[in-house]
Amino acid sequence: MTTIGFLACETTLPGSGARRRADAFEHDLMVAALEPALAARGLAMRVIDWEAPLEAFAGLDAVLLGTAWNYQDRAAVFVAKLEALEARGIAVHNPPGLVRWNMTKTYLRELEEAGAATIPTLWLDEVTGEDIRAAFAQFGCEKLVVKRQVGAGAEGQVLLTADEPPGPDWRFGRPAMVQPFLPAIETQGEVSFVFVAGEFSHALTKRAASGDYRIQSIYGGTESRHYPAEDEVEAARSVLAAIPFAAPLYARIDMVRTEDGLLLMEAELIEPYLYPEQGERLGEHIARALARMTEPEGSRA
Ligand SMILES: Nc1ncnc2c1ncn2[C@@H]1O[C@H](COP(=O)(O)OP(=O)(O)O)[C@@H](O)[C@H]1O
Ligand SMILES: [Mg+2]
């Protein structure tokens, strides 16, 4: 039987007790969406910690990167593991080359060059208090967001205001991106477009809790289904098309609706949460694509 591995991590796996992440319910929702849909296509699923020894992956035909939500500080080890799985003949979704490309947010510059509408960004290897003063002047804005070039879940991100700027000795401490704060995040929220094997699956709007601007559920953010107009889907689809790789099994394109139209926040191609509650056919879409990909040659109907 074809078996698909769903990669998790020690803090998303059930049984991690008090160490389990506050948003691990999203892991449970993904598993609940996928398992029956895969079974309906004759595919078995096994949830496995990505850090398990290679031998533990024996018998898997493919893996989904699932909820491997702790890889950021061991990114090189993570990609090496994906490559080792591939070398054992296990199909990795999304593949390590794409993961490596998507890991550093400098990919946004490439997408911008390919025509995607992105948020104005300063790319700096280190950010000083001086850089922040210059950025306020350059963008002519009252608030700035500074975030890691390699990061997820808004970790390490800071929001700075022009009337309380950091002192000259302030350092961010890592390669960073500096952006004007988009007030639309508070009024419109962030729109996520989920694609499976290049086809639009569903969309949703994510809103921050009042008093916050980060839409992640871990900060109290909430989601609601969004039925996008065709031109919105087209905007997201053109971002997907600009990615210099074949259409991946799954992609989540996060955008912010501003007066200048939809701007790309990020393209999540590694281990995005895919919001099955807002897309009740997500499991079916992924199962169908996986069934196609794992079918033996020549058995295609
Ligand atoms: N320029 C910005 N203006 C307003 N909010 C922002 C901006 N950049 C990031 N945010 C907020 O922070 C969250 C995390 O930023 P994001 O770029 O998506 O990084 P991550 O990879 O951590 O998800 C976004 O979902 C949004 O709520
Ligand atoms: Mg994000």
Q: How do the pLDDT tens digits run along the chain, 301 residues long?
A: 999 999 999 999 998 888 999 999 999 999 999 999 999 999 999 999 999 999 999 999 999 999 999 998 899 999 999 999 999 999 999 999 999 999 999 999 999 999 999 999 999 999 999 999 999 999 999 999 999 999 888 889 999 999 999 999 999 999 999 999 999 999 999 999 999 999 999 999 999 999 999 999 889 999 999 999 999 999 999 999 999 999 999 999 999 999 999 999 999 999 999 999 999 999 999 999 999 998 765 555 4
Residue nearest to ligand 1 atom 11, measured at CA: 214
CA of 194 to the centre of ligand 2 (A): 13
- Residue closest to 157 by CA, chosen among 182, 174, 138: 174
> Strand runs (DSSP E) across 9-135, as ranges?
44-49, 62-64, 91-93, 122-124
Cis peptide leading into 94, omega within 30 of 0? Answer: yes
Nearest-5° Cα angle at 156, 126 to 243: 80
Domain for residue 167, yes or no?
A: yes
How many structural domains does the chain have?
2
pTM equals: 0.96
Domain for residue 115, yes or no?
A: no
Q: Verify whether ligand 1 is closer than 6 Å to residue 152 (CB atom).
A: yes
What pLDDT is recorded for position 72?
Answer: 85
Of the chain, the end-to-end C-alpha distance in Å amounts to: 19
Q: Verify whether ligand 1 is closer than 6 Å to residue 267 (CB atom).
A: no
What pLDDT is recorded for position 299?
Answer: 58
Residues 33 and 92 placed together within one structural domain of the fold: yes
Q: Which of 181, 197, 228 is the last residue of a domain?
A: 181
Q: Verify whether ligand 1 is closer than 6 Å to residue 235 (CB atom).
A: no
Q: Verify whether ligand 1 is closer than 6 Å to residue 119 (CB atom).
A: yes
What pLDDT is recorded for position 294?
Answer: 86
Domain for residue 36, yes or no?
A: yes
Domain for residue 78, yes or no?
A: yes
Tokens of 145: 């967001």
Domain that holds residue 130: 122-181
Residues 55 and 145 placed together within one structural domain of the fold: no
Q: Which of 130, 155, 181 is the last residue of a domain?
A: 181
